Structure 1
Amino acid sequence: MRNIPLSDVDATPRAVLAIATDYPPDTLLPRHVHRRAQFLYAMSGLMEVQTDDGAWVIPPYSGVWIPPGKPHQVRMRGASTRSLYIEPAARPRAGSACEALQVGPLLHQLLLASAEVPALYQTQGRDGLLLDLILLELGSARRLPLFAPMPAEPALARLCQALLAKPSITVRPEAWARALNMSPRTFSRRFREQTGLAFGQWRQQACLMAAVTRLAAGDAVTAIALDLGYDSPSAFSSRYRQVLGQSPSSVRQGL
């Protein structure tokens, strides 16, 4: 199925619905929610996803798993997508949090083929087997570290949102502790309690998410590294490769 609203087929008595959608550049899908779980895959372009839990950047050849009933907002940066909408009882991943997932060559080809599957497919035929295999692959897909969890505490959340809007690796936890009238030790403990990450890890995630977006837009590695406050392009590239398993230049090349 191609470029049709989920609402047109949501009631179809099938465990999985596959829809291919092409979005104009910079399309914003405002905050919404699905009855079914969703796996949203960018065949091309970039996706920025926000939920109450935090923010994700999803580069090409990656996807985001969205549990059923999870409110979310997505900005499409020139993305052509494949979406799977999965009945809650059939979902292949547990938990109530969204996840960025790596899409390997087999899953990529399966998702490519899913666009030709009709809503009322034969469950025991080729289409049903194809979707069953997709669910198995989704269940074992590797989670990617492109997530910045959002704290529930309003004052701390505002600081996090400001850093996401203007990320810098040079922001110091001591400055945030002073802004919140906390000792550095109390701040470090509170930040980890609220986000599950140490401040330095969270700051790094925010910077890498910004870097992925800019790399996909064609910005130079040197300019990104310096804007984010890294000492040198090589220091930025080394950290990027350590966390994401590939060089920054590979994103610019569309790999």
Structure 2
Amino acid sequence: MTKSGQRLAVSELAKLHVERLAAIEAASEPVYAIPSEYPAGYHVKPHRHSRAQFVYARAGVVMVSSVQGRWMVPPQHALWIPAGLVHMVDMLGDVTMLSAYVAPNALADPPTAIRVVALTDLARALIIEAAASPSGATSGRHDLVMALLLEEVLRLPDRPLGLPFPSDARLAALCRGFIENPSARLLIDDWAERLAMSRRAFTRFFRKETGISLSTWRQQAAVFTALPRLAAGEAVTAVAIDLGYDSVAAFTTMFRRMLGAAPRAYFKAPPEQY
């Protein structure tokens, strides 16, 4: 595709996004589900909607960013975005996305924080079915699918694919630098010294700013960096070495601890039957 053609495609997608936002706001049903496709590298500008959004990345990897941090949604996962939260979206690879927009009164106690969750076979089938229904569809079966989807969403297990960012400018700069050049050899004492703090004071400060320990944050940042590369087919060995791990085994152990499966097994998703 020529550069002019690429600009046209981006322009058309941006226009389509505005139309989708308008349709979401105008929808009257409790759950409004739609499919969408985006090319690799496409960026959705900061926006918000009055409904919560349940996003399933059926293909490709999606990264959502807000003032609260960044969240990555690889295949076979989904993301819950609370209503009213300003966020932007980046596509890592060609993306097929299914989204269910949930009205504020559709759930008695909806999650108020962003959550990355692992999909069950049932949840996957339900959102595929929901997104395949025509806009404004009304039938007993359609209503049952949507109602069951809402029930299943609240039961899905969380996955550590979020990366909280501190509000302190000095600490945020260290975190951004690490993401640009991640290393398994990050030491607490190094960061504490750069902020002129004792190890103990820095440890308390980091947890207060992010809600997790530096060790956990570092591992999540490593997963953040590794997932798009592994999803694109890069060798586990190359990724592990680039991240500063002494061996593939050490990287695999960390990956399995964070995501519940070794890298190669993680991307062998079960075939869809729906």
Aligned to 1:130: 145
Contact kept in structure 2, 1:93 and 1:139, CA below 8 Å = no
1:116 matched to 2:138: no
The residue identity in structure 2 corresponding to 1:96 is T
Alpha-carbon distance between aligned partners in 2 of 1:167 and 1:30, rounded to the nearest angstrom = 26
Q: Does the Cα contact within 8 Å between 1:20 and 1:81 map onto a contact in 2? A: yes
Aligned partners of 1:193, 1:155: CA distance in 2, in Å?
Answer: 14
- Percent sequence identity over aligned pairs: 37
Q: Distance in 1 between matches of 2:224 and 2:113?
A: 18
Contact 2:100 2:131 in 1 (8 A): no
**Paired residue for 1:42?**
57
Are the structure 2 counterparts of residues 115 and 95 from structure 1 closer, same or farther at C-alpha, using a change threshold of 3 Å?
Answer: closer
* Among 187, 192, 198, the residue aligned to 1:177: 192
Structure 2 residue 257 is matched with structure 1 residue 242? yes
DSSP 3-state at the match of 1:120: coil
1:87 is matched with 103
- Per the alignment, in what secondary structure is the counterpart of residue 50 of structure 2? coil
Deviation at 1:6, TM superposition (A): 3.0
Please give the per-residue CA displacement for 1:43-72, whole angstroms capped at 9, x wherever unaligned. 111111111111111110101100001111
Return structure 1 stretches of 4+ with deviation > 3 angstroms.
91-95, 251-255
CA distance in 1: counterparts of 2:167 and 2:22, whole angstroms: 32
Q: CA deviation at 1:244?
A: 0.7
Contact 2:24-2:101 at 8 Å conserved across structures: no
1:101 aligned to 117, 123, 126, which one? 117
Cα pair 2:130 2:146 within 8 Å, conserved? yes
Number of matched pairs? 253
Q: Equivalent residue of 2:132, what SS? A: coil
Relative to structure 1, the CA distance from residue 137 to residue 95 in structure 2 (aligned partners, 3 Å threshold; closer, same or farther) is closer
Secondary structure of the 1:10 match is: helix
- TM-score scaled to structure 2, two decimals? 0.87
SS in 2 for 1:60: coil
Aligned-residue offset at 1:162: 1.7
> Under a length normalisation based on structure 1, what TM-score does the superposition of the two structures give?
0.93
Q: Which amino acid aligns with 2:161?
A: L
Alignment-derived partner of residue 209 in structure 2: 194
Give, in whole Å, the separation in 2 of the partners of 1:72 and 1:93: 22
- Name the CA distance, whole Å, in 2 between partners of 1:95 and 1:106: 20
Deviation at residue 254 of structure 1 after TM alignment: 4.8
Secondary structure of the residue aligned to 1:30 is strand
SS in 1 for 2:26: coil
CA offset at residue 121 of structure 1? 2.4
- Ranges in structure 1 where 5+ consecutive residues have no aligned partner: none
Where do 5+ consecutive residues of structure 2 fail to align?
Answer: 1-15
Which of the numbers 59, 63, 78 marks the counterpart of 2:74?
Answer: 59
